[in-house]
Amino acid sequence: MVHEATFDAETQKLAKDYGHSTISDAAETAQRAEANLLIANHISARFLPEDEKILKNQVKDIFPDLVIARDFMEFDWNLHTRKFKKKLESHR
């Protein structure tokens, strides 16, 4: 699942005021949707690359399979699907 996550978990009111989601909103949506992976995009410029760990920590108990998208990042859905299938097979 790809979901915008403009704000961090601590700025829920700001997110609501501007019509955006927080990283927690995105994680909760992914959890409810039973997604295999969450790619959070449209992260506010206030968060620097070194803040990625903070964002991931805020939702690790809600939805740990999180990728923070960066500008011009590419994601291979086929590769991820193969890895997920292998993971499922190893749990059988």
Within 13 Å, how many C-alpha atoms sit on residue 8's CB side? 14
Average pLDDT over residues 67-81: 84
CB atoms within 10 A of CB 8: 21
pLDDT at 61 over 60: yes
Q: What is the pLDDT of residues 6-60, one digit of tens each?
A: 999 999 999 999 999 999 999 999 999 999 899 999 999 999 989 999 999 999 9
- Say how far residue 70 (Cα) sits from the centre of its chain: 12
Question: Model-level pTM?
Answer: 0.83
